[in-house]
Structure 1
Amino acid sequence: MRTGVIKADTIDVAVERILLELGKDTTRSRENSIYFDGWDGLGASAVLQSVAKRLGASNEQSMRPAELQFEKIIHIDCSKWESRRAMQREIAEQLNLPNWVMEMLDKQDEEDDFNGLDQGSRTEIAQVVREIYQTTQNHRFLVILHNGSSEEIDIFDFGLSLDRYANSKILWTFQGRFRIAPKMTDSVKKSRTTDVILSASSGERDPREHWFYLVREEAAQVAFNKHGHCIIDPGIATNCVLYALILSWFGLRINDYDWANHSSNYWVCDGVIALTDIDKAWQVGNVLQHEVPLLHINTRLNKDESAVMASYHPARSAELMPYWTTTTTSTFGFVVSPCGVIPNNTFRHSHRLGVLKLSRCAFSFSSPPFLYCQGLRFLWLDHCQDLPTRSTTDHHHTEADKEDELDSNTTSLWECFRSLWVLDLRCTDCDWILSARMMDLMTQLRELNVMGAENLDMSHLRGRMRNIRKLRVTKSTCFFSNHVFSEMESMELLVFSGNYLEQHMLSLSVSASNSRLKAVIVDGCDGLKVVTFRGCKELENLFIKG
C-alpha cells in the first residue's frame, strides 16, 4: 500500500493532482484503488465531485488525455448512506441497464417494504450483480464513490471488477461531506482492497482561512441538487454547518443536542436561517437536516476522544466564535450550576434569547426563569424539577391554589409561550406546562416532543394545536380521548412509541381532519388495541409494531 500527501490550497489544485494519479498506467502494478482523505477528512467529497465533473459524460472522451479515456465513468454519491441495495440501484442507473433490471429492484424493494425489512439491511440482488458484471467486463471504467457508510465496500461484490490489464480504477472517500472524524485513514490502512491512500495539506494559506474555505466548498455541494439547480443559498448552508460545529464543540461531553430531530429547529429558532417567509425557512432547514451527515454523529465523546477532536474541525470552528456572538444574546455557551438551582431572574435581560435548554435543573414551575424571554422560540426541559416556593410548601396550599397561581400570571408573565415554535419535555412534570391554560397561549407551536412523562393527560391537546407539524409522545404513561388528534389540521408527523396506556385507552384514531399527515410511527404501546387512519390521503410512511 502506498501513501502520499498532496500539497494543495484549493479544490482545483487537488483535482489536478488526483487526475495525474488516475492517469497512471497500472497494468504492471496494483494501484487501481485510490482512497482520498481530503484535508483531515474535510473537502474530500468536493474534490471527488469536481473530478467527476471534469471527466463526466458531458466531456467528449476523445478530448481527454489518452491516459484518462475511460469508457465508462460511474459516479456514485452515497454520502447519505441508505443501503447496499440503494448503491446497487445507483450503479444500475449510471450504466443505463435494461428496464427489467430496474423492475427487479423495484419489486424486491416492494417485498421488503411489505415484510418490514429496514433500509439498512437491504443487500445486493445476485441477478443484478451479474448484469453489471457483464455490462462492464472488457471495458475500462472509473468508479468515483462517496462512501457514506462506516465500512469499506468491495465493489467486486456489486459486479465491478477492477481488471488490472484493462486499467480500470476506483477513486473513493469515506462518509461523505462534512466529516469531522479525523482518523478514518487508520481503518483504511487495514484494507485489503485499497492500494493507494492520499491526503491533502495546505501550503502558505492561513490555516483558519483555508478551513473556512473548505467548509464553504462542501456547503456549496449541499446547495445544489444533482441536476445542478440551486435549491439553498450557499451562504445559509455554510452558516448552518458552522453553527452545528460550534455547538458540538462547546457542548462536547456535556450536552446532547439530538441533532437528528432538532437540527432544523436550532437553525430556524436561533435565526441562522433568517427568511421572511417562515414556512420557507423551515423547508430549507428540513432539507439541510437530511443533507448534512455530521449532525448524526454522536459528539458526546469520552476523554480520550475529545482530546483527539480538540485539534480538528469542531475546535477549529470555535475559533470563529465572534461570528456568532450576536445571534441571540451577548454570551454563547454553557453555564453549569453546581447545585442545579436556577433563580427565577436568571434570564431577566435575555429578551432576544431564541433557544434555551435546561437540563437537570430545579426552578419554580409557577415562576420559571424563562418568563422574561419574550423572543423564545425553542424550549427544552430535560429532567427538571419543581423548586418549592414558600407558598407551595405551606401544607394548606392545595392543587387548586397552584392552578390559581399559574392562572394569575397567564395574561402578563406567560407571554413568552406565545412566540414558542418548539417545545421538548423529557422526564419532567408536564402537567403545568401542558395545562389547558398554557396550551391556549401556544398558538404558534409547530413541534411538541414529550418523553418519560407520568400520568400525562393528553386531552388538553385537542383543539389547541392547529399549527402543530410534528408530535412525538414516547416512553410515557398517558391517557386521552379517542379523538385527541382531531383538529390538528397541519400535523405531518406523529410518533407514538413505547407508551403505557390506561386500561380503558384501547384505540388511537387519526382521521380525515389530519389531511396533511405524511408519516406515522406507532411502536410498543402497551394496552393499545386499535389504530385507525381513515381518510389520511397524504400518508406516505406508516410503521406499526406491537
Structure 2
Amino acid sequence: MPAPEEIKIHAKNIDAAAREIIGILEDTSIGNVIFVRGWRGFGASAALKAVAQRLKSSKSTFGRVVHVDCSLWKSMRALQKAVADELELPPSVMAIFDRQDEEDDFSGIDEGSRGVIPDIRTEIFRKLAISKFVVIFHNGIDKYIDLYECGVPVIPILNNKVLWTWHGRFRPDFCLEYTMEQHTDVVVNYSHNDWICGKALLEEAKEVVTYMGIPEPYMNQVIVEKCFQYIYALGSGRSPYFGEWRNHASNYLVYDGIIQGQGDTSAWGAADALQRNMHLDWLFLMSIGDDIRRHLQCRLHDRLVLWEHKDDVLPDETGLLHSEATTFFIVPANRYGTRMTTLREGIFQHSHSSKLRVLHLSWCGFSFESPPFLCCSQLRFLQLNECRNIPSNKHPSHNEDLSCFQKLWVLHLRESRVGA
C-alpha cells in the first residue's frame, strides 16, 4: 500500500485547525480516509470535535455527519452501537443490541470481546449507502479499525469520507503510528509553533476534564495539565528505576498534592478518575519526542527534582535544592554496574525542606539512625530502594522530633538493609 499523503496545516488554535481540516475534507481530489495526527498527537481529538460541531451546525457538502467518540475503547459492539445511535436507527433495531448483550452475558462473554451484530451492520449500510456522508471517528484502541465491519460503506466513487484519529486523552504519537497510518490516504499534521503547542495541550486537558465529570474547584484543565506535566517528567526519566512508579502514577499526584480532595470529593477518587480517563500506556513504551520535552522542560522545574547519579557521583547542583520542590528523586543513571552514592549530612536541612511530599532514594547511602530527611515534616510518600546504612557518630536523642513520619502515608522499603 502506498504511503499516505502528508498535509501540514498552519494554525494558531484549534478552531483555525478545524477550518483547514474541513477544507481538506471537502476537497474531492484528496483520498477518502484522513488521519489527523495534530502536534505530536496532541490537539487532534479536539480538532475532530470542532469539525463535527461545525459540520452539524451549518450547511456542508455532506448530507450526513456521523461523529463517534470511542477514545475510551470498550469493544467493536460498543463502536457499532455508537454509530447506530448517531444514525438514530429505530427502537426495534436498537433493541437487538439489548437482546444480544443479554445472550452474551448468559454465555459469559466479556464486554471487550463482543463483536458487531450482522443484522445491525446491514441496517447501517442501508442507511448510509444512499447518502453522502462523513464519519468522524475517535479510535481508542492500538490498532486500525475498519469501519466497514460495522456497516459503514466508505465508497470512493461517492466521495464519502472518514476523518479519524488515534489520539486524545493525552496519547502522543510513537512507534505504533506507522502501522496505523498505512490504512489511511492522508495524514494531517500541525506545524510546530508555540501557539499551537500550548493550545493543543490545553485542549487535551479540557477534554479529560469533560470525561471525568468532576466539577471545579476539585478538577479543572489547569490541574489536569499540571498532572500531565508531572507524569511526563517522571516518564521521561532515563533511569530504569523510574519504571516502578508507573503502575501507581495517579497516586503520586495525590502524594505530591497536585490533586486534593475536599468534602465529598476524595483526592483518591479524583486521581482514579483521572487515570481511567487519561491514556498512560505510552509510559511503558518509550519517552516521547524531544520537541515535547523542550516545550515542557521549564514547566515543573521548581516543583519536581530528578537527580541521576553515576559512578557514585551526584550532579553538581546537589546543594541547590529548589525552594518549591515537592517531589525529589535520587536514582542511579544505569541499572548495571551501579554504585552506591553517599548523601551528605544536611542535604535537606534548610528552611524550605518542609515542602517535600514525595521522596524516592535509590542506591543511596546514609545513616539510618539519623537520616538526612528527618526534618521533612510534610512527607506523604517515602521510598528507599536498595539503600545502605552508613554508620555515623551522630545519634538522635530520645526527645528528637521525628517529624518526617508524622504525616507519612506510605513507607516503601525495598532491599534496604543496615549491614554493608
Q: For 1:74 and 1:327, how far apart are their aligned partners in 2?
A: 52
- Residue in 2 aligned with 1:387? 389
Whether the 8 Å CA contact 1:37–1:185 is kept in 2: the answer is no
Deviation at 1:161, TM superposition (A): 0.7
- The match for 2:232 among 245, 262, 270 is 245
Residue 174 of structure 1: CA displacement? Answer: 1.5
Which residue in 1 is equivalent to 2:33? 33
**Contact 1:9–1:201 (Cα < 8 Å) also in 2:** no
Q: Does 1:179 align with 2:167?
A: no
Give the 3-state SS of the residue equivalent to 2:134 in structure 1: strand
- The CA distance in 2 between the partners of 1:117 and 1:417, in whole Å, is 48
User: Mind listing any 5+ residue stretches in structure 2 that lack a counterpart?
Assistant: 305-321, 333-337
2:274 to 273, 277, 288: 288
1:157 to 130, 149, 152: 149
- Return the alpha-carbon distance in structure 2 between the equivalents of residues 386 and 111 of structure 1: 59
Verify the 8 A CA contact 1:44 1:177 in the aligned structure 2.
Answer: no
Is residue 140 of structure 1 aligned with residue 127 of structure 2?
no
Residues 1:269 and 2:255 are matched in the alignment? yes
C-alpha distance in 2 between matches for 1:172 and 1:185: 13
Decide whether the 8 Å contact of 1:259 with 1:296 is kept in 2.
Answer: no
User: Larger deviation: 6-15 or 109-118?
Assistant: 109-118
SS class of match (2:170): coil
Query: Does the 8 Å CA contact 1:30/1:164 hold for their aligned counterparts?
Result: no
- In structure 1, how many angstroms separate the alpha carbons of the residues matched to 2:326 and 2:239? 21
Q: State the match for 1:216 in structure 2.
A: 202
TM superposition shift of 1:279: 4.2
2:46: which partner in 1? 46
Q: Which amino acid aligns with 2:383?
A: W
RMSD value, Cα: 3.8
Going from structure 1 to structure 2, the CA distance change for 1:414 and 1:86 (only over 3 Å counts) comes to: farther
8 Å contact from structure 1 (residues 15, 50) kept in 2: yes
Normalised to the residue count of structure 1, the TM-score between the two structures is: 0.61
The answer to whether the 8 Å contact 2:259/2:271 transfers is yes
2:6 aligned with 1:3: yes
The corresponding residue for 2:63 is 70
| Distance across 1 between alignment mates of 2:346 and 2:202 | 40
Conserved? CA contact 1:347–1:369, under 8 Å: yes
Structure 1 residue 225 displacement after superposition: 4.2
The number of residues matched between the two structures is: 389
2:189: which partner in 1?
199
Distance 1:201 1:12 in 2: 15
Of all paired residues, the percent bearing the same amino acid is 34
Counterparts of 1:132 and 1:176 in 2: how far apart (Å)?
26
Residues 331 and 292 of structure 1, relative CA distance in 2, 3 Å threshold: closer
Question: Do the aligned partners of residues 386 and 331 (structure 1) sit closer, same or farther apart at CA in structure 2, a change above 3 Å counting?
Answer: closer
Task: Find the residue that maps to 1:5 and give its secondary structure.
Answer: strand
Deviations 1:404-458 (A, max 9, x none): x99x96x8544433312345555678xx9xxxxxxxxxxxxxxxxxxxxxxxxxx
- CA spacing shift, 1:118–1:363, aligned 2, 3 Å: farther
Greater CA drift, 330-339 or 412-421: 330-339
Query: Could you say what secondary structure the match of 1:255 adopts?
Result: helix
CA deviations 1:273-304 (Å, max 9, x no partner) are 356559444333222222221x2223564xxx
Q: How far apart are 1:38 and its partner, in Å?
A: 0.8
TM-fit CA distance, 1:19: 0.8
* Counterparts in 2 of 1:79 and 1:323: CA distance versus 1, 3 Å: farther
8 Å contact kept, 1:77–1:145: yes
**Helix, strand or coil for the counterpart of 1:224?**
helix
How far off its partner does 1:313 sit? 1.9
Distance 1:414 1:156, change over 3 A: same
Letter of the 1:143 counterpart: V
- SS in structure 2 opposite 1:297? helix
Unpaired runs of 5+ residues, structure 1, are: 392-404, 433-546
Distance 1:142 1:277 in 2: 45
**Which residue pairs with 2:319 in the alignment?**
none
> What SS does the corresponding residue of 1:256 show, helix, strand or coil?
helix
Query: Residue by residue, what CA displacement relative to the aligned partner does 1:188-216 show, whole Å, maximum 9, x if unpaired?
Result: 4432xx222221214xxxx3454222211
Supply the distance in 2 between the matched residues of 1:316 and 1:175 (Cα, whole angstroms).
19
Q: Give the match's secondary structure for 1:288.
A: helix
SS of residue in 1 equivalent to 2:242: coil
Which structure ranks higher in relative contact order (CA pairs < 8 Å, sequence separation ≥ 6)? 2
Correspondence for 1:421 among 388, 409, 417: 409
Cα distance between partner residues in 2 of 1:105 and 1:363? 63
1:488-499 equivalences under 5 Å are: none
C-alpha distance in structure 1 between counterparts of 2:122 and 2:408, whole Å: 56
| Cα offset, 1:152, TM superposition | 1.0
Distance in 1 (CA, whole Å) between partners of 2:292 and 2:31 is 30
Post-superposition offset of 1:95: 2.5
CA distance in 2 between counterparts of 1:223 and 1:313 reads 22
Displaced runs of 4+ in structure 1, greater than 6 A?
A: 226-231
Deviation of residue 23 (structure 1)? 1.7
Asked whether 1:255 is paired with 2:242, we answer yes
Q: Aligned partner of 1:173: which letter?
A: T
Give the match's secondary structure for 1:351.
helix
Q: Is the 8 A contact 1:357 1:381 kept in 2?
A: yes
Q: Name the CA shift for 1:161/1:428 in 2 (closer, same or farther; >3 Å).
A: farther
Aligned equivalents of 2:298 and 2:113: distance in 1?
40
